[in-house]
């Protein structure tokens, strides 16, 4: 009996796995089509001065995919699928293209957008040509250095690849700021803080969630803030949803706040209106 049950469970598991693979490859194909059928767009998540939460200091470009049949699909779902294929490279270029186009439009309208951050996958750094390709796109839209920041996670750094360090150097020399995203959630050595030309550390929502109620989350946030200060790096807290989290971050010297308490990620036009009234 037990054996029979085990076999059934295995069969069930196998068919779920099979279904998952089918779903993933269907999604991958749909995502490939999305690159040419206009289903991709960016939202901009505003970042504010922690000590003056009305003051806009930056924004993060976040990719969105609305599939005609399946509806909106979360980046938490489609980015990992893209990462497993060559699609992530194409998506990365598309994000840079859309972002530069938007910035160009805002500037043409006489506005002064703050530094815009975008997310780059580990693959972008490992393949090479990341910095040079970005430079090309920026030139095409007349975007000057100093206007952009690239966010990457610790996972980008685990292989200690020369190509990765070369790209980082090239981006930095080209005037692109560098930020470590989701700091403290991945595997990387702290020596990177010393060795890399970083501008910013982003404190992940999983730690921010515990501020004011979990000693361990507070200890991690406090340590991150104090290391950042020692290294002269800016800090941004992500996922700030409550007034008490904001108060904690203000009291502990965090520089910037990004979270639903202050704003949701905005459509291009809504972000432009925010710039107009800033
Ligand atoms: P991330 O780069 O850490 O982005 C922050 C995520 O936290 C965003 O989710 C944002 O909407 C969310 N967030 C910020 N504040 C709050 C808050 O107060 N409450 C809640 N509940 N959420 C908050 P999103 O847009 O779903 O992105 C998820 C992840 O997908 C990103 O994490 C990033 O890793 C990836 N991603 C998004 N856009 C891109 C992209 O253009 N390229 C790449 N490679 N990855 C991207
Ligand atoms: Mg990010
Ligand atoms: Mg993050
Ligand atoms: Mg994240």
Query: Can you tell me the distance from the alpha carbon of 217 to that of 219, in angstroms, rounded to the nearest whole number?
Result: 5
Cite the beta strand spans of the chain per DSSP E.
40-49, 52-67, 71-73, 115-119, 148-153, 177-183, 200-203, 234-238, 256-258, 266-267
pLDDT for residue 173 is more than 70: yes
pLDDT category at 1 given cuts 50, 70, 90 is: low
pLDDT at 2: 67
pLDDT value of residue 168: 97
- The residues near 4 (Cβ < 8 Å, ≥ 6 apart) are none
Ligand 1 center to 62 CA (angstroms) = 6
Mean pLDDT, the chain, whole residue set: 94
- Residue pair 107/147 in contact (Cβ under 8 Å)? The answer is no
Averaged pLDDT for residues 155-169: 93
- Residue 152: the pLDDT is 97
In this predicted structure, the answer to whether residue 159 has a pLDDT above a threshold of 90 is no
Residue nearest atom 17 of ligand 1, based on CA coordinates: 239
**What pLDDT, in 10s, does the model give residues 247-267?**
999 999 999 999 999 999 999
ipTM rounded to 2 decimals = 0.98
For residue 65, name the pLDDT band (cuts at 50, 70, 90): very high
Global pTM?
A: 0.94
Q: What is the pLDDT of residue 7?
A: 74
| Ligand 1 site-directed mutation target among 58, 79, 116, 210, most atoms within 8 Å of CB | 79
Residues with CB under 6 A from ligand 1: 45, 62-63, 74-76, 79, 95, 118-119, 121, 151, 181-182, 205, 238-241, 258-260, 265
Q: Check residue 231 and give its pLDDT.
A: 96
Three-state SS for 203-225 is ECHHHHCCCCCCHHHHHHHHHHH
Q: How far is CA 124 from CA 87, 110, 150, 268, in A?
A: 11, 32, 11, 25
Determine the average pLDDT of the residues in 239-246: 98
Q: Which atom of ligand 1 is nearest to the CA of 74?
A: 26
What Rg do the C-alpha atoms of the chain give, in angstroms?
20
Nearest CA owner, ligand 1 atom 25? 62
More confident residue, 118 or 186: 118
Closest CA to 73 of 121, 98, 44, 39: 39
Instruction: List beta partners, residue 67.
Output: 71
- From the alpha carbon of 204, which atom of ligand 1 is closest? 3
Distance 203 CA to ligand 3 centre (A): 7
What is the pLDDT at residue 8?
75
């Amino acid at each position: 009996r037990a054996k029979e049950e085990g076999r059934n469970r295995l069969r069930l598991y196998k068919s779920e796995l099979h279904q998952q693979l089918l779903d993933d490859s269907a999604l991958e194909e749909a995502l490939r089509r999305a690159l040419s059928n206009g289903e991709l767009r960016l939202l901009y998540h505003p970042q504010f001065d922690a000590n003056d939460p009305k003051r806009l200091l930056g924004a993060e470009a976040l990719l969105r995919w609305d599939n005609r049949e399946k509806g909106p699909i979360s980046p938490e779902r489609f980015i990992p699928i893209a990462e497993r294929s060559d699609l992530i490279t194409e998506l990365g270029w598309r994000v840079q293209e859309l972002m530069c186009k938007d910035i160009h439009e805002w500037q043409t309208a006489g506005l002064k957008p703050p530094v815009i951050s975008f997310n780059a996958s580990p693959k972008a750094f490992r393949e090479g040509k990341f910095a040079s390709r970005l430079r090309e796109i920026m030139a095409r839209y007349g975007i000057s250095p100093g206007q952009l920041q690239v966010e990457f996670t610790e996972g980008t750094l685990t292989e200690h690849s020369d190509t990765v360090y070369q790209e980082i150097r090239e981006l930095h020399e080209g005037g692109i700021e560098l930020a470590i995203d989701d700091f403290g959630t991945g595997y990387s050595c702290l020596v990177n803080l010393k060795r890399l030309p970083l501008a910013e550390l982003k404190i992940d929502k999983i730690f921010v969630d515990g501020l004011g109620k979990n000693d361990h989350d507070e200890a991690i946030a406090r340590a991150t803030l104090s290391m950042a200060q020692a290294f002269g790096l800016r800090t941004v807290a992500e996922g700030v949803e409550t007034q008490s989290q904001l108060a904690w971050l203000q009291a502990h010297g965090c520089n910037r706040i990004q979270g639903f308490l202050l704003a949701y990620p905005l459509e291009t036009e809504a972000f432009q209106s925010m710039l107009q009234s800033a």
